[in-house]
Structure formats: structure tokens, C-alpha cells
């Protein structure tokens, strides 16, 4: 692929991660970024990710072959009006938003259908900002591509080739399909996780026993409740119709489950859990969906001084970085007293080998 000029408007977690991935796989590309935060631009320039950063629009942005809109959807729509009057005819504008309907409608209003390919990398983190961007964030992640109605097949193919070259897995959907699918597998889970956390907060005992003994199952299920409230407020507003539809279906299932419990309907309860188990087990473990795979395992550990330190030292001496480590105090549904989490699968696998070779007993999930 020839040398490209690629611009970024917004350089947070997703925009920064895409920029870092492009720099990693295409070191000769020219990368420019506009961001309101001088500190963000300074970081991206200092680590070599971008060639130039601007706190106001610059002519080098409008000379780009691709422009990634990585700001909130409402801001991206505002930028379209400026870009319409300034970009070169062959420029492809794309975005990374979690909701596609509003941006596609705005593109049509601005007569930019010949220049727009919507995009949504199905990856993320509970943390935000360029400082948390990683060049591997979209690797092996589905990258949903939603071409506008009149964009050419050549342009779409070239964009998908660029995305594939970064290690992501492009998948074409209409913007309507995208918003309905993500309402169920991305947006609804955040509402469920947040609602469950709020439930425990509201009904907990005066001594906060629920909070104290919350175990791995509760924390794994509600992990995404730690995500940005601002971002998820916007997503729910922007995709309200689709989210309402899937919420209706979910509420029906909750009411049904309540009836099964009240009626002691053993057959229905078994089918509820067994059907869910079978479908859940059919979901590929290798996919990096919006709820990312966690690379972790549990390790048996005697209650002795220096036990955790010994494991941490052993892994460090083998150049294995630990993301998180902690004692599991409630083991009703868990095996292994020590929960160890890693940044990636390679580190997790290496740690399993090292600890097993040193006679530690591990429990994988």
C-alpha cells in the first residue's frame, strides 16, 4: 500500500489506539491530529505516533487521504460541515462511533455520501484518554464497516485493506443493522451492569455486607459499569429506539424468570440456565467484543507470609507483567484463592507455564 496521509480529529482511547496501530504497521505514513488538549498532542508527538498535532484546523488535515472522526458523535457531526467545504474529492472520512444512524444521516444531509465510510472497532477499555491508548487495542477485534449508500467498491475495499493491515477483522453491515446489533450485545450489557451495581448499592445491608463479599462472578459481570458515564449517556440517547426494543425483550425474560422462581418450576429453571450455558459456550473465546476477554486465572495459595510476593517475583523474573492481582475472599463459585490478571493472552499463557512448573495449582476459566 502506498504512503498515505491520515488525519485524526480527536485522539482519545480509540483514535489514539488506531493511530498507534497505523504507526506500528505503517511507519512511513504521515499522521496528523487535531485535538483540543495540548497535552494529548504533546504525548502523541513525543512517543512518535503522529507527525504533527494541531489545536486548530490546519491545511495538512484537509490534504489527507483518510480522516478519522474520533470525537463524540455530536462533535463529529459538527466537523462534517467544515470538512465538506475543504477536503479533497478523493478523501475518505470515517468515524469510530458506537452508534451509526445519526452520523450517516448527517453525512447524507451534507452530501458527503461519496466520501464517507462509517466504522466501529469493537474494542475498548474502562479507561479513557490517549494515555490509555495501545497499539494492540483493535488487534483481532471485529471492526464494523458501514459504507454510505453511494461510496464506491474500490474505496470500501481499500479501507478494509487498511483496517485488516492493523490486525483487526473488518465486517460490513448497514448502519441500521449495526445499531440494532450493538444495542443488544454492547449497549444493553452496560445498562444491565450499571443497574445491577445500583441494585446492590440500594439494597445492601447497613454494614455493606453485599459490597464486602462481592466475588468474582459479580465483579466480572459488572466490570463494564466502571466505563465512562458521559460516553454511555450519549450512546443511550443516540441509539434510544433500538435500545428500548431490546430492553423490552430483556424485561420480558426477567419477568418470566421471576415467575419460574416463584412457581418453583424446576424444568423451566433448568432450561433457562442450560440454554444460556450452551449458547454462551458457543461464543468464540478468541473474539475481542465490546466486553473484552479477560486474561486471568486463579491460583491456590497457602496463607503464609510472602506468598503473593513470591509469585509476583517469580513472574517478574520471567519478564511477565501482571495487570492485577488479589485475594478472592468469597470463593463460593470460584476455585483458587489468588486471582491474577494479565494484559494479553501471551503473558497469561506464559505465567501458567511458569507457575505450573513451580508446582503451583492453577484453575482456569
Among 17-31, 223-237, 278-292, the minimum mean pLDDT is found in: 278-292
pLDDT tens-digit series, residues 302-322? 656 788 888 999 999 999 999
Confidence of residue 126 (pLDDT cuts 50, 70, 90): low
Among 125-139, 196-210, 244-258, the minimum mean pLDDT is found in: 125-139
Cα gap 257→251, rounded to integer Å: 10
Q: Is 305 helix (H, G, I), strand (E, B) or coil?
A: coil
Q: How far is C-alpha 147 from the chain's CA centre?
A: 21
pLDDT tens-digit series, residues 48-59? 999 999 988 778
- pLDDT for the residue numbered 86: 87
Per 3-state DSSP, the chain is made up of helix, strand and coil in percentages (nearest 5) of 50, 15, 35
Mean pLDDT of 61-78: 89
- pLDDT for the residue numbered 165: 95
Cα gap 14→16, rounded to integer Å: 5
- pLDDT for the residue numbered 161: 96
Residues forming beta bridges with residue 121, ordered by sequence position: 143
Cα gap 344→86, rounded to integer Å: 41
Please give the grid coordinates belonging to residue 101.
444512524
Confidence of residue 201 (pLDDT cuts 50, 70, 90): very high
Mean pLDDT of 98-103: 93
Confidence of residue 280 (pLDDT cuts 50, 70, 90): confident
Cα gap 89→110, rounded to integer Å: 14
194 pLDDT higher than 80: yes
333 pLDDT higher than 50: no
- pLDDT for the residue numbered 353: 95
Mean pLDDT of 325-350: 74
- pLDDT for the residue numbered 162: 96
Among 12-16, 124-128, 286-290, the minimum mean pLDDT is found in: 286-290
Summary mean pLDDT of the chain? 88
For residue 352, how many other CB atoms are within 10 A of its CB? 17
Mean pLDDT of 257-278: 95
- pLDDT for the residue numbered 267: 96
- pLDDT for the residue numbered 293: 65
- pLDDT for the residue numbered 123: 82
Amino acid at each position: 500500500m502506498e504512503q498515505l496521509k491520515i488525519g485524526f480529529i480527536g485522539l482519545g482511547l480509540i483514535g489514539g489506539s488506531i493511530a498507534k496501530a497505523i504507526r506500528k504497521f505503517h511507519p512511513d505514513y504521515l499522521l496528523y491530529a487535531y485535538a483540543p488538549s495540548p497535552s494529548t498532542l504533546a504525548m502523541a508527538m513525543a512517543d512518535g505516533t503522529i507527525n504533527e498535532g494541531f489545536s486548530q484546523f490546519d491545511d495538512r488535515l484537509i490534504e489527507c487521504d483518510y480522516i478519522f472522526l474520533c470525537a463524540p458523535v455530536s462533535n463529529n457531526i459538527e466537523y462534517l460541515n467544515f470538512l465538506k467545504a475543504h477536503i479533497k474529492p478523493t478523501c475518505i472520512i470515517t468515524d469510530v462511533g458506537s452508534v451509526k444512524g445519526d452520523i450517516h444521516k448527517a453525512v447524507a444531509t451534507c452530501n458527503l455520501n461519496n466520501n464517507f465510510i462509517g466504522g466501529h472497532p469493537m474494542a475498548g477499555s474502562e479507561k479513557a484518554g490517549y494515555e490509555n491508548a495501545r497499539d494492540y487495542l483493535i488487534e483481532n477485534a471485529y471492526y464494523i464497516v458501514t459504507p454510505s449508500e453511494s461510496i464506491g467498491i474500490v474505496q470500501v475495499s481499500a479501507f478494509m485493506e487498511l483496517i485488516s493491515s492493523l490486525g483487526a477483522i473488518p465486517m460490513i453491515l448497514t448502519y441500521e443493522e449495526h445499531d440494532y446489533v450493538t444495542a443488544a450485545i454492547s449497549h444493553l450489557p452496560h445498562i444491565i451492569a450499571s443497574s445491577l451495581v445500583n441494585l446492590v448499592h440500594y439494597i445492601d445491608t447497613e454494614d455493606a455486607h453485599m459490597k464486602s463479599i462481592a466475588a468474582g462472578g459479580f465483579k466480572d459481570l459488572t466490570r463494564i459499569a466502571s466505563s465512562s458515564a458521559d460516553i454511555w449517556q450519549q450512546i443511550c440517547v443516540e441509539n434510544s429506539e433500538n435500545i428500548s426494543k431490546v430492553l423490552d425483550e430483556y424485561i420480558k425474560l426477567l419477568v418470566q424468570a421471576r415467575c419460574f422462581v416463584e412457581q418453583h418450576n424446576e424444568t423451566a429453571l433448568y432450561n433457562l440456565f442450560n440454554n444460556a450455558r450452551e449458547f454462551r459456550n458457543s461464543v468464540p473465546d478468541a473474539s475481542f467484543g465490546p466486553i473484552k476477554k479477560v486474561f486471568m486465572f486463579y491460583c491456590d495459595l497457602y496463607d503464609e507470609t510472602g506468598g503473593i510476593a513470591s509469585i509476583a517475583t517469580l513472574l517478574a523474573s520471567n519478564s511477565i507483567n501482571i495487570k492485577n492481582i488479589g485475594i478472592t475472599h468469597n470463593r463460593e463459585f470460584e476455585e483458587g484463592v489468588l486471582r491474577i490478571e494479565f494484559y494479553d493472552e501471551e503473558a497469561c499463557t506464559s505465567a501458567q507455564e511458569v507457575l505450573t512448573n513451580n508446582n503451583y495449582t492453577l484453575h482456569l476459566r
